[in-house]
Amino acid sequence: MSSPLPRRRFIQGTALATGAAFLPATAAHAADAVTIGADGITLTGRTDGSVLVQDGTGADRVLLPHFMIKDSVLGQQRTFGGTPTQITLPDGRPAIQVDYTMGGAAPGVAVRGVFDVTAHRAHLRWEVSGSPTLTPTGFMFARTVYGASRAESYEALTTWLRDPRGGIPYETDAGGAYVENWTGLRGFFCLPSTDPAYTNATWVHSPGTATGSGTAVTEADLVLGDLRPRSAGALAQGRPLSVDVWTDQPFNLYETAGQTMTLNAEVVNGGPAAKPVTVRWWARDFSGTEVAGGTVSRTLAAGAAWQPSFAVTAPGQGIVFTEVQAVAGDDTALARTNLSVLPPFGYRAGADSMFGIANYPWLLEPSEDAVLGLLRTLGVRWIRIAYDGAPGLPVAALDAAGIAHNVELSGIPVGGTAEQIAAWADTNVARALAAGAACFEVANEVNQPWMSGRGADAYVRDGLRQVTDRLTAAGSSMKVMNAGLGGMDHVWTENFRAAGGWDLIDAFAFHPGRGNFTPDYAPPPEEWTLGSNGTYWNFLGALRKARQIVQEYGGDKEIWLTEAYAATRPNAWWTDTYRHAAENVLLTLALAKAEGVRGVNWYQLHDSTLHHPQEADPDNPEYHYGLMNRDTSAKPSLLAYATAARVLDRATFVRHLAFADADIKGLLFTTPDGPVSILWSRKDGYLLNADHTDDPWYATPEPWIDPWPTKTDVVAHSGTVQGTVTEVDCIGRRRTLTAAGGKVTLTLDGAPRVYHGLAANPDWK
């Protein structure tokens, strides 16, 4: 998934890269020009200090003319020419050494480049010395690309790992690549660390690593070949084997049963010699049935790539988990992705819908139109943040698609001068008005520390009241929300009301974060515990407290969950497994509908972070909240969101069901197509991953493993004496049950299921 690079001015970077010690270099001879080569690539060190890169046909592809250092005292200083020589590396291979010339503004600073080649790959190394105040995070190298067929793009590089302790495999960061394109050839500048925001048309952000007092090294690789970016990254890093997987379908999402879903793979031998490689692959459905799989083998030359493809038949609706593993002796590599099927649906709730996405759908991969189409397929009716200049989908595109949008704008200068406060309010009210926002959510999670009550009065004075005064003066009917609270912080909310804030809002917004509890876990507020693993982070108990406050404080305020969650951090007990997350997405949305919530903005559309798009970051809790994976394939959660949106599209809540068995839970809705019941059991309790230890690490089970040991048969009343009842699971798979004598037997466990065809009183006794 690549995106064009912004051509913006360089700003000091902060990322660190890893590097090795200085190479011992023995000069062999000086020459007017120095040339070295390997299969598919040639480097020439020219007399002006630049290095020319040619492909295997001798075509000029890239010029590397300069290097730029960053220094806290000297600032940014670049090279001005240099002298090339040929040297011999410790392993006996030739290399080009360039001793650069620095300007007079960098006294004592020396920069040396060392460039070597292997098949289709140039290793680039710059050694900097002579200043105790170097800032290696700001190092850069210049590049000129000749005859590109399209603009440079950036790819975050990843690799899949298995934890030796068990659990599920996961992706981790493997640096980044700037991708160059020519007809029939691609080039990849691969770096262990880089920030594309700091790269421009001339300079590549290439952070170095300090190697001593006043010394630092930057390393990068340029790979030439018709490869996938992650394959190029593996070659650059010298990994013995690598695997990448993808489909040619946006989001790996299909519409129709029986379609052939083609899983593509690229396997690369990154070793120095040819070797036989065996590829094993499988595809499993949500029940764990292996629906396809097999083994293929081939001998791969050093540096060679192989692209086998595998066919999977699409189910009617559902998800298929896939893995491709390459094995060569003791070397292994794997990659995973998900294929899913979601037929079209005609949503009819319109502006009455509660279904939304929080923050921005900002990763417009593979295209803006594809993302808009996905939102419509999912039933998304609201976007939390949209305004001109924001990341993601433009306001005009949302309007054309019939997707309503709000704004959330933060940065209130609390305690600032009158001028600062006025400038903030003027700017952001104007932005909200220009966007045509339906609601203005004034800032985000200002209630920290949680349950301390601090800052509510200053927030009202310097932020909220400034906004409402300006909206009133503009004659705007835009609704106003408080800053979405982190958790249901009733202490802060009471102080907010005391400061006059309650009368200024039209909607009450909060974020019912949830730990390893089912969404229907509802401890009373007086029992909530704080801390990173506290029961303060529960869903239904928080929502019911919010309803109580809205009723008590008055004013007929709407309730908005401007962030709702089912995080899936792998191998961590506090967050959901992939299967639990799907179950919990459905139940969360159903409970929100039952409790009268006006809008739910799910946080967020895909795993990633705004400032590091599609960079794998498994240790960052903020990274794992998406309905989709990093590669934009669906998690089961995405299908669960669509299931909820379709089932509840025009539903009206009737009541909580009460079966004779108190552990059997249920919600009853009425719809234009008849009653709908959502049923589940709590025989296995409200705690998820309950067998965890004190260690935050937890061996997450595979998503097709049923986590609920207790199955309970329940007799419910059907809508007809004889007939059928349709059961729909959390990802939308349907099965038909037969009713007899006005009754049907349902087998329930902790996973919520939807039932069509039950009576309007299925729990009648």
d(CA 704, CA 232): 32
So what's the pLDDT on residue 765? 75
Question: What global pTM score does this model have?
Answer: 0.94
DSSP 740: B
Spatial neighbors of 530 by CB under 8 A, at least 6 apart, are: 450, 451, 536
Q: How far apart are CA 427 and CA 733, in angstroms?
A: 48
Contacts of 56 (CB under 8 A, 6+ apart): 39, 40, 41, 42, 224
- Torsions phi, psi for 109 (to 5 deg): -85, 130
- Give per-residue burial for 5-27: e unless 16+ CB within 10 Å, then b: beeeebeebeeebebeeebebee
Query: CA 49, 50, 56: angle at the middle one, nearest 5?
Result: 135
Whole-angstrom CA distances from 511 to 234, 487, 488, 517, 535 are 40, 5, 7, 15, 14
- In the structure encoding, which two tokens stand for residue 279, read together? 């590829």
Widest CA span in the chain: 97
Beta strand segments in 130-240, E: 140-142, 144-145, 150-161, 170-182, 185-191, 203-205, 209-212, 215-225
Per-block mean pLDDT, blocks of 10 residues, the chain (765 long): 36 29 36 90 97 97 98 97 97 97 96 96 98 98 97 97 96 97 97 96 98 97 96 96 98 97 97 95 98 98 95 96 98 98 96 95 95 98 96 96 97 98 98 98 98 98 98 98 98 98 98 97 97 96 98 97 98 98 98 98 95 91 95 98 98 97 98 97 98 96 97 96 96 97 97 98 90
Distance CA 52, CA 122 (A): 11
User: How many CB atoms sit inside 10 A of residue 665's CB?
Assistant: 21
- Only one residue has tokens 């690539």, namely 41
Report helix, strand and coil shares of the chain as percent, to nearest 5: 20, 40, 45
Q: Are 88 and 257 in contact (CB under 8 A)?
A: no
Domains of the chain, each with CATH number or no CATH: 34-237 (no CATH), 243-341 (2.60.40.10), 350-647 (3.20.20.80), 671-756 (no CATH)
Q: For strand 305-306 and strand 260-269, is the pairing parallel, antiparallel, or unpaired?
A: antiparallel
**Element at 401 (helix H, strand E):** helix 395-401
Could you give the 3-state DSSP secondary structure of residue 626?
coil
Number of Cα atoms under 13 Å in the Cβ half of residue 518: 23
116 touches 93 (CB < 8 A): yes
| Beta bridge pairs of residue 557 | none
487: Cβ contacts below 8 Å, ≥ 6 apart? 447, 450, 451, 510, 511, 512, 513, 536, 537, 542
736 bridge partner residues: 726
Q: Which residues contact 139 (CB under 8 A, 6 or more apart)?
A: 67, 68, 69, 70, 126, 128, 206, 207, 208, 216, 218
The answer to whether residues 200 and 206 touch, using CB atoms and an 8 Å cutoff, is no
Question: How far does Cα 337 stand from its chain's mean position?
Answer: 14
Q: What angle do CA 110, 116, 117 make, to 5 degrees?
A: 160
- What does the pLDDT read at residue 612? 86
Backbone torsions φ then ψ of 527, nearest 5 degrees = -105, 0
How far is the C-alpha of 387 from the C-alpha of 390, rounded, in Å? 5
Nearest alpha carbon to residue 171 among 182, 179, 163? 163
- The whole-number pLDDT of residue 32 equals 82
pLDDT at 20: 30
What is the token pair recorded at 196?
A: 């594309």
Q: Which residues pair with 429 in a beta bridge?
A: none
Q: 520 to each of 539, 585, 588, how far by Cα in Å? A: 7, 12, 8
* pLDDT number for residue 29: 41
Residues whose CB is less than 8 angstroms from the CB of residue 629 and which lie 6 or more positions away in sequence, other chains included: 337, 338, 606, 607, 635
**What DSSP element (H or E) covers 644?**
helix 636-647
Q: What pairing do the DSSP bridges indicate for beta strands 3-4 and 150-161?
A: antiparallel
